[in-house]
Amino acid sequence: MASDRQVEVDGRELKLTNLDKVLYPEADFTKGEVIDYYAKVADAMVPHLAGRALTLRRFPEGVDDTDAAFFEKRCPKHRPEWVQTTRVLAGPHSGYIDYCVCDDLPTLIWMAQLAAIELHPSLSLGSKHEQPTVLAFDLDPGPPAGILDCSRVALRLREVLDHVGIECFAKTSGSKGMQLYVPLNTPTSYEETRPFAQALAKLLAKQTPDEVIAKMGKKTLRKGKVLIDWYQNNERKTTIAVYSLRARERPTVSTPVSWEEVEHALDNEDAASLAFEAAEVLDRIERHGDLFAPVLELKQALPKM
């Protein structure tokens, strides 16, 4: 593959540079392969990004060089004129920021060209930033706990939600954890979703205090436990996008998984079965379609507390 290339993507002109630069040294995975992955996953991924404020996590020197890596909230000024943005109040001291929005394949390719390995969208659409479309639980294991411990907690959360008639969907974080998404797609607010998520997290922490923690704090208190991060349900927070690559040693991906896969992994103590790299994810989409598609369409309302 040539190091630089001028391409046309759906009628948009893009210059791709340093395509042979290795961004994942352990896997010898190049920038060109990162761009190729995002091009191939776009049909499944873009609907989950469309209309949402995106924070980019860029690794211009590769995943090993964390000193050169950075989060980018403000959409770069040198962006092509066709890249869409949404203006969002970033915080009491930050004012309004124009975030990038990824509504199409050319924009996704442009972001990959920036070495934006990780994409972190809001839980809301930019047009209604105070109204989340989902409720999210971020399950973060404290070593030596791992993804199987997260699976156990995820199944408990699913059971509690099932009792109140609410469906949820799981994805790996692409790192060591797992996330549960509760599709809402009905008018709500973070003032409703956050207390609900907090109440469920506290319930599980009370029931299984040796396994679950629901309060952010010293890492020593989290040893061997799974933190249920309910505070992700906040208009100023973002969560790793479904199908996003992660900046780990290898090109792992935040991947939707079926509940049958979660149960099977737990029953067989097979953590490896819940780890997926780029090529495997593309194969899964080919075989199963987008397992996260219901998150975009399913309409549910949280029960009153």
**Alpha carbons 76 and 85: distance in angstroms, whole number:** 10
**Alpha carbons 89 and 53: distance in angstroms, whole number:** 11
Q: Tell whether the model's pLDDT for residue 87 goes beyond 70.
A: yes
**Alpha carbons 197 and 193: distance in angstroms, whole number:** 6
Across the range 257-286, mean pLDDT stands at 98
> pLDDT tens digits, residue range 169-223?
999 999 999 999 999 999 999 999 999 999 999 999 999 999 999 987 766 678 9
Q: Tell whether the model's pLDDT for residue 30 goes beyond 60.
A: yes
Angle among Cα 102, 103, 106 to the nearest 5 degrees reads: 75
Q: Of the CATH numbers 3.10.580.10, 3.40.50.970, 3.90.920.10, 3.90.45.10, which one belongs to the domain with range 5-121?
A: 3.90.920.10
Across the range 248-253, mean pLDDT stands at 98
Domain ranges of the chain: 5-121, 134-297
**Alpha carbons 4 and 7: distance in angstroms, whole number:** 10
For residue 74, the model assigns a pLDDT of 96
For residue 1, the model assigns a pLDDT of 47
Average pLDDT of the residues of the chain: 95
What is the chain's alpha carbon radius of gyration, rounded to the nearest angstrom? 19
Asked if residue 99 lies in contact with residue 125, where contact means CB atoms within 8 angstroms, the answer is no
* Cis previous bond, 144, omega within 30: yes
**Alpha carbons 49 and 83: distance in angstroms, whole number:** 13
Taking residue 250's Cβ as centre, other Cβ atoms within 10 Å add up to 14
Q: Which tokens go with 21?
A: 């630069």
Percent of the chain with pLDDT over 90: 92
For residue 221, the model assigns a pLDDT of 75
Q: Does the domain spanning 134-297 belong to CATH 3.30.70.3300?
A: yes
* pLDDT top residue among 158 and 93: 158
Q: Tell whether the model's pLDDT for residue 58 goes beyond 70.
A: yes
Look at the block and give the residue holding tokens 């991947």.
255
Across the range 241-270, mean pLDDT stands at 98
> pLDDT tens digits, residue range 95-145?
899 999 999 999 999 999 999 999 999 999 998 999 999 999 999 999 999
